[in-house]
Each structure stands twice: as C-alpha cells, then as structure tokens.
Structure 1
Amino acid sequence: MAAHPGAAPARVVEQHRSGYIVATGPGDGVAVESLPEWQRPPGYRRGTVAPDDRPAVGDWVLVEDGRRIVALLPRRSAIKRGAAGEHYRQQLIAANVDVAFVVCGLDGDFNPRRIERYLLLVQGAGVQPVVVLTKADLPGADAAAAHAALAAIQALGVPAVAVNAKDAAAVEALSPWLRPGDTAVLVGSSGAGKSTLTNTLLGVDRMKTAAVREHDARGRHTTTHRALIPLPSGACLIDTPGMRELKPTGEEELADGGFADIEALAAECRFRDCAHDREPGCAVRAAIARGELDEGRFLNYLKLGGEVAAASERLASRLADRPGAKVHAPRPRKHDRGPG
C-alpha cells in the first residue's frame, strides 16, 4: 500500500468483460476500470495477461480516485481450473474463499465422479469443500443412497449435506460454514440448484432460476457471471455459472480429490511402479477384490491422475516460455513414480 498512498482497499464483487464492480461494504458497489497496461507483468505481449494476474471475484484490490484499480493484493486462496481449448491457460473461479459448496442435485445430476473432480480443484486450492445435495424434496430423491455413494470421501473429512434448497429451515444446515466474515463459493453444474440456494440464503428472490430438462436433468445457465453477495449472517457468498468442463491445472495432488485412501493403498503395493493392473502384490487390486474399494472410483482416480500429469507437463512448458524463467520439474506423483 506504500506505493499507492492515496488508494483505498476494496473487494471485487462482480467481474465483467468491460471491467469490475468493487465494494468497501455491503450494498455500495461501484464500477471501476481494470488494471492499467503498465502494471501487466513482464514477459507478456501487449494485450495478454495471465488470468492469475487479473483480479477475480473475491479479490482485494487497491482503488485510486474511486474509479481505477492500481494494485491486486495478495490472495490467501484461489480456486482455478484449466480453461477449455488447445493452449494451456488457467481460469480463476473465485479468490479468498474459505469454503466451497459443491452443489449436486439428487436427480439425474447426481454424479460421484464429477464430485471427485470438483474436490480435486477445491481442496487443491486449500479450500474446505462441503458437498451440498439439493432437491432432497423431489419424489424419488434418495439421500441415503447418495450418502452411501459418497461414504469414502466423507470418511476422509468431506461433509455431505442433503437439503431442500427452497426451504430456509433445511438450508440452516449450512450455517456452520457461513459465519460472519466467512466467504463461500457455490460450484456445480447448471440446474443443480445454486441460484435457488442463493435466494433461500438471502431470504429474497434475487437470482434468476429456471427448470431443468426432464429427460436428462440438465439446466440452462441462469447465472451468467460470478458475483459476491453479502448474506444476512454476515458471510459472503459467491455464485458462479454452471461448469460442464472441469480440467485440472496440473498443480493438484490426487489426494485432494478424495483419493487419500487409494494413495495409501498404492504405497503398500509390492512394487513402487505398480500400475495396479495384474502385478503380484498389488494392494489396490486386493482391496477391490475384497469389496473395500469401488472400482469405478479407482478408475476415476487413474483418469484424473493422467489428466493432472498431462496438465503439469503443459504448465511446465508454458512457464519455460517466459523470459528468464527458472522452471523446476513437476513433482512426481504417487501414481507415476518409478521403482524406489
């Protein structure tokens, strides 16, 4: 702040292509200009800035003259994903978050493998995840079966809460993670009930909602941009558009996806380079044979492991292209280490 004595701190509450809305308190949002050209980091061509170097919803910034961002303050957490496309890029989802509500409907939207993918991104950012199972009021919703399907990740300390997102009394179950000063972010696919949940927590219908398609339980994007909203509890909530593609950045560890138990099993295999296929002494395959490890979950572990390894290589290549970069080799992951 010493470099900008006349600037005031503010928090980014909305992000648009043309700029940002920032606030210094509840209900006082003001439009400001984005970071000036001279502040873009060295090594980038004019007009290109890495997403990590741009403010995102939840960020704290310094604003000068009430209209221009002049500095991005250090983050304590940042949830990111790999952006779609051929070239490696990262997309910030939210910054300075304490808890992420991974929202999944108890209808055709329920997908434990997708939840594990969200956990990989969320816990990799150092953020506490809470799985929120919405639509518990629907006929045929089986919360007990969903909890059973998520038993392995719950055993690793990830809470799962089933709610009727339209019922304020039911949504009270989320209050332990919405204390004054806390910031929570809602992530999940379109139609999962994020906007309905936001409206119930606010006590007013602020966010637009829409029905999902009956044949596949898919929703349309009713939330079109990320926004930070103050709640009556004193917490802040960031609502996000539905995300259908969740690519890792290459910075994650597989244990963050709720796979710490599989990692522990892999460490017990006879061979350190065990591929968990037909090798003798494979502790992972033995656990599957005993019914102690779900094979679908294990296959997702392998799939995500391959994606993380590939993204890590792309990240290292991208960093190596920066002028003067000193690139360290990606850390070997437990699933791809050679013999010890």
Structure 2
Amino acid sequence: MSKKVLVLAEVKDGKLRQVSREALSVARRLAAGGEVAAALFGPGNGAHAEELAGYGAQKLYLAEAEALAVYTPDAYAQALTQLVREVQPDVILTGHTAMGRDLAPRVAARLQLGLITDCTAVETSGETILFTRPIYAGKAFQKKAFLEGPVFATLRPNNFAPEEQRTVLDVFPFRPEIKDVRTIVREVVRKTASGVDLSEAKIIVSGGRGVKSADGFQPLKELAEVLGGAVGASRGACDAGYCEYALQIGQTGKVVTPDLYIACGISGAIQHLAGMSNAKVIVAINKDPEAPIFQVADYGIVGDLFEVVPLLTEAFRRVLVAK
C-alpha cells in the first residue's frame, strides 16, 4: 500500500545536508509509489528546490518566515507541528543531527506520536516498517516498529545511500503561525575551522591523548586535508585541552559512520567506540600493541603516530597526484 512520506530537509552553511538526500532516498522506498514530500524552513532555502527534486521529492513545503532563519526549538517545533497536522503524512523522517535530535522529540510529544531515533537501517515486512538502531553503546542492535499511527524516525547520517531520481517538483508556500518564541539567536560563533562536516564526513582522522598536545594535531590535520576528510578527537584529547569539544567523538560526543576512520593515539575506551565502531573501515595507529582499539580495527599499525602519520600523508599524496 502506497504511503505519504514527509522529509524535513536541513540546510547548513547554505548547503543541503547529505543526510537529507539520504532521507529522501529512504522516503521513496517507503512511499512505494505514493507521495514523497519535503519541507524546508528558512528564508532563501527555496534555492535548494531543484536539488530536492533530483532526489525524488515531488512536493516541497517551503516556510520562509524570518523566525525560521536560524534554528530555535520553539519556532521550528511550532512550524513542523503545524505542517504535520496540515499534511497528515504516514511517515515523517529527518536526520539524526544536532537539530534532528533536539527537534524530533519536541514535535513527537506535541503530536503524541511515537519516535524511533538514530536509525541505521530501514526495511519493510509487508505493511510494517522495521527500523534498526544501536543500543548498549553500539554493542547490540534492536529492530523496532510502530503498532499504529504515523511513523516518525530520525536517520543516522552516512548509513543510507543517496540515490538520484529526478522528479517534477510542486512548491507550496507554507506560512506557520509562530508565537511566544522564548529563544532568540543573536549570533552564531564557530570555534572550529571551516571544513568537512564531522558528522557527515566520509573520512575522519581522529586523535587521542597520544597526540600529546594541541600541536600534535597538526600531522592529523595534514593527513585529513590530503584525504579530503575531517579531524576528530577522543574525549581524553578534548579534556586535556588539545582541541575543542566540537571535535569530540564518542558516547558523550558525536556519533559518526565514515567510510574510513583513522584512530591515532587513541586507546579505544568503550565510550569512544560507541561513537565510531560502525565505521566501514577502521585503521588504528598506536604504540601499545595491547590497546583495545586494535580489537575493533580492520587494520592496525603498531608505532609512533608522529612517524607513521607523516609517512601515510606523503604516500597518499603521491597516490592522489598520480591519479
């Protein structure tokens, strides 16, 4: 039976987030010939309409109210709640990003809907949609389904293949009634340098206490730049003041699923593994051959990261230049 699926797309730094493309691809599969709709909030975001059409969106509900220019929980929750009530979708999807993690529970509570978060796989069994999500810090996975009512879920980035399929897109202006907003964002200050978004990066070079200092991250940054990836860190490195907490990966930081994760000087505590153990390929570099990180690594290098990382950087640079 065909379904009506609504995807809340997200724009960051003027670009459509990769997880929104992934969500549209999942939506097409779940719609089973039904309707795939997208929603975009914020002035000027209608510029991304063609890109949404390229990934299968058939309708776009565009809310360009000035109150939605920057994400605030009150304004976005009111807007999405009103849109869901108006559209009446069978399935609601959004990314498991900082915004999605904050917004989805608020809207689910307002609409008295169930919510499944951080989904890494989606499949159908007859008319039932099954969502797979990690539990126990990624040590196990559970499958969950809704017994009744609209389906509401957040999808972990980098776990679904975005598939292009161009459609004819109808754009519908949406004007939510937004009032009693308690939070106003005056300024957004970024402490990290611009570059690849850590939560959606395909390649991550991450450092732990073994980098020894803030300067110790420089070889990692050079390797990440050559590979077109992002730099991450363990909580130990952040606590030691070697880098900003915005780079922290783990149970109390960001959860990432890159194609390649290079762990440099990271012991492999369970809290860190919870944030990166689902990476497709893990490479560990550590002087201690007994470090727990080697138990989850696909490839391990026992050695000093300050010797190994520059050698890897130079080797990758030669290979990429040869191409």
Common fold: TM-score over 0.5: no
- Tell me the TM-score normalized by structure 1: 0.30
- Tell me the TM-score normalized by structure 2: 0.31
